[in-house]
Every structure is written in C-alpha cells, then in structure tokens.
Amino acid sequence: MTTPLLTLLDLAKQRNSAGSAYVEILDETFKMTPEVSGMVYDPNTGNYRKVPNVGAVRPIPGRTYEAKVWNNLPTVPFRNFNEGVDFSKGDGVSRTFQTRLINPKWGADNAMSFEQDFASRMTDEAMLQTNSAKQTLGNQFYYGAVADTNKGFPGLISFYDDTNFSVDATGTLVKTSVWFVKFGFGGVEWLYGNNLAGITPQPPRLGDYTDGNGKTFTAMIQESYLFPGVKVSSPWGVVRIKNIGTANGKKLTWAHMREAWFKMANKGVVPDAIFMSPRSQAQLQDANVTTENPNPTLPTQFNGVPICPSNSISDAETV
C-alpha cells in the first residue's frame, strides 16, 4: 500500500471557481486541545486566552528523563536530656519517564512543483499535519499508552493514583472524566526529547518514491519530528473525577468538583486547570439552573481555577 501524496486536484482546491485565491479559509477539523496549547476557550465571550503554566514543556536531552522522588520522611522525635533517640532516614525512588517519536510526513510528485499554488499547498499541508499532531498529543495526554499500546507514551490514566486521588460519579454508560491538573516542576510537565522546543516542519527534500506498481519517481518530501512524553512527579498533581454519565444521579455535579478539589487542597496543592469535555461543562451549567436564573452562563472557573473544555477527552471512555 502506498502513502497518499498531494495531487493536482489538491492544488486546484487552492483556488475558487473564479480562479482566484480564497479570501477566507474555514477549518472544520479544528479541535480544542488546551492541555497542549495552554489556550482555553471561553464560550461566553468566544475568545481564547493563555492560562499560566498550562501545557508547560521541559525540553530534555535524549529521549528519557529520570527523576528522584522522595516518598518517605525520616522520623524526627523529641527527647529528654541524657536520653537517646533512634537513627532514622528518609527514602525515595527513581522514576524514569519515556518519550515517543511522532513523525508526520507528507509530499508530492516533484514535477508538480512547477504548477501554480504548489508552495502554498505544501505550506497548508504543514499546518494541517501540525494541527493533527496536536490533536494526537491531546488524546495521548489523558489516555496515553492505553490508546496506543505499541507506540504511544503513558498518559495521565497510567500515572494517577486511583485509590487516593479519584472521585467516582458511578456512571456505567457513555462515561467521561474531569481532570484537575497541577502543571510545572513537581507536578505535570510535557517532556520534549532531544531538546526540541516543539513540532517544527523540516526543510523539503527530494527523494525516490515508489508507486503502487513498484515504479519510482522523484518526490518532494517534508516531515516533522517531535519526541513527546508526560511526566507526573507527584501523585497529588492529578485528580480524576471518573465515570461521569448522562443518567440522573450520574452526571457531573458541584459536589464532585468540591470533593476533587479537597483531595488536592489537603496536600497544599491548587490545580492550574480543570479539564473536561464540553458535555461535562454543560452539565455544570445545568446544575446552576434555578427558578430565578433559568438560563445560567456556562461556568468557566471553579474557585478561581479555569475550567478548560477539551475535545481530547472522550464522552465514551472505556478506561
């Protein structure tokens, strides 16, 4: 099976029926990925804004990152004069976090480079490939190796402490989750291996391409590289509200939100962002309906922390 390349039809689509370049281009493939971009959408204003710390990235040399994690303190007792105490010591573990290769690739028959709009179509394709990569990263951020057991990096679903840092909404059908996340050093960070700052298209190159009949021709090829991963330093950096359904008594409530909040607060941690699907955000809006206020606005914060609607979070989770 050969890999799809750009075609003359793709070039023709760069212009409208009158033969002019489009004044406006709409993107129906767009998805909200605030966990990657750090940009949160406010549905009440229609604007995006940057949330501090969200999407924090740590470029690292190589493709793995090893951290020392202290998880036991020494015992420090009082004592009387002329009375001894036992020796004690703290203890910790070493944790290794992995990154994985993501490698978008696209191209076209090099003979098409003489055609009108070839350069602009290649540029557009670079943008589309990058946007698709960001959507892949958004999904991996939560579901990680569960979504792609062979090649993906572990996500929050693999790191969080389900026993001590989760709230169960007890839904059984069409389930989703809400994630309270503390970003930055000591919390959750994106790791970008080999000191890459982001996914950036490489310069185009020429190479031989083999068609479906085993025949070769020269193609212009372009690709991007990124070695992403996720690091969760402390278990209290992530709290999950799980099994949120749509049946009565199984929807997301403010009580669930308060319970999740205090699981972090009891450790002295305040989340930087609260990620949820648009469906969950709408359920919180419904929870605010009163006789005096039958049409409340969509909630955009909880205790001052931004609520970040994300299309990366599934409304039909199986994990």
On the question of pLDDT at 134 being above 80, the answer is yes
Cβ–Cβ contacts within 10 Å for residue 22, how many? 10
Please report whether residue 48 resides in a domain: yes
> What phi and psi, each to the nearest 5 degrees, are found at residue 88?
-150, 165
* Average pLDDT for the chain: 90
Rounded Cα distance, 192 and 114, in Å: 37
Q: What is the pTM of this model?
A: 0.88
Distance of CA 292 to the CA centre of its chain: 38
Please count the structural domains in the chain: 1
Helix (H, G, I), strand (E, B) or coil at 100: coil
> What phi and psi, each to the nearest 5 degrees, are found at residue 279?
-65, -40
Please report whether residue 100 resides in a domain: yes
* Percent helix / strand / coil, the chain, rounded to 5: 25, 30, 45
Rounded Cα distance, 296 and 121, in Å: 44
On the question of pLDDT at 246 being above 90, the answer is yes
Per-residue model confidence (pLDDT) at position 141: 96
- Token duo for residue 212: 């479906």
Please report whether residue 80 resides in a domain: no
Please report whether residue 249 resides in a domain: yes
On the question of pLDDT at 94 being above 80, the answer is no
Domain residue limits at 137? 8-69+96-309
Please report whether residue 79 resides in a domain: no
**Closest listed residue to residue 182, CA positions, set 117, 268, 277, 298:** 268
Could you tell me the pLDDT band of residue 1, with boundaries at 50, 70 and 90?
A: very low
Please report whether residue 90 resides in a domain: no
Please report whether residue 89 resides in a domain: no
Round to the nearest angstrom and report the end-to-end CA distance of the chain: 33
On the question of pLDDT at 218 being above 80, the answer is yes
Please report whether residue 314 resides in a domain: no
Residues paired with 190 in a beta bridge: 57, 230
- For the stretch 81-91, pLDDT in tens is 989 889 888 88
- Token duo for residue 253: 């409530």
* Mean pLDDT across 36-59: 89
Per-residue model confidence (pLDDT) at position 68: 63
- For the stretch 178-213, pLDDT in tens is 999 999 988 999 999 999 988 888 999 999 999 889
| Contacts (Cβ under 8 Å, ≥6 apart) of 185 | 233
Cβ–Cβ contacts within 10 Å for residue 200, how many? 11
CA atoms within 13 A on the CB side of 87: 0
